[in-house]
Amino acid sequence: MTKQQIDWKQFNSIRLTKNFMLKEFAVTSANYGEVKEEQAAGCLEYQENLLHLCQFILQPLREYIGKVTVTSGYRNPVVNRIVGGSENSYHMRGMAADIITDENMSAFMYIKRWKLYTELILHKTFIHVALKPVIKGEKLSYSVLQDKTK
């Protein structure tokens, strides 16, 4: 893989939605000293997918439940291998995130109520969620998200 030139100042300033910055999706538990550039480059490459993930799931969840911490967002293939991710992991396309909230069970139930996810797993300490692939031209409806009465 060729070394990519990342303009860190610019990269660190990219905001996806009100409470989510692009750089939050470059984090990983893997020791990524050597692949940091690749993580950032991947975030830029899949920025649109990450934006959708925020718009349709993470930001509404943030507004519902409070602080949402991303522990793993985009993963380049090296990182994905290190953390033992599945071969076709949605993380590698910026379509999935592992998140922690103060109330993971409530967060899980909230995401579960609408049908915009393709993967939703409540782990012991975090939630894995992957957004339904957005088909070009298709408009995802999230009116149900705004229904907080149920």
Q: Which residues in this chain contact Zn ion in the complex, by CB under 5 A? A: 98, 128
d(CA 120, CA 67): 19
Q: What is the smallest separation between the CB atom of 10 and Zn ion, expressed in angstroms?
A: 27
Nearer to Zn ion among residue 37 and residue 98 (C-beta): 98
Nearer to Zn ion among residue 93 and residue 128 (C-beta): 128
Of the CA atoms within 13 Å of residue 99, those in its CB half-sphere come to 31
Nearer to Zn ion among residue 6 and residue 72 (C-beta): 72
3-state helix/strand/coil string of 34-61: CCHHHHHHHHHHCHHHHHHHHHHHHHHH
Q: What is the smallest separation between the CB atom of 124 and Zn ion, expressed in angstroms?
A: 13
Phi, psi of 106 (to 5 degrees): -65, -40
**Which residue in 126, 120, 107, 118 sits closest to 61, CA to CA?**
107
Q: Are 146 and 110 in contact (CB under 8 A)?
A: no
Give the DSSP H/E element, type plus range, for residue 132. none
Q: What is the smallest separation between the CB atom of 51 and Zn ion, expressed in angstroms?
A: 18
Nearer to Zn ion among residue 81 and residue 148 (C-beta): 81
Q: What is the smallest separation between the CB atom of 73 and Zn ion, expressed in angstroms?
A: 9
Which position's Cβ is nearest Zn ion?
128
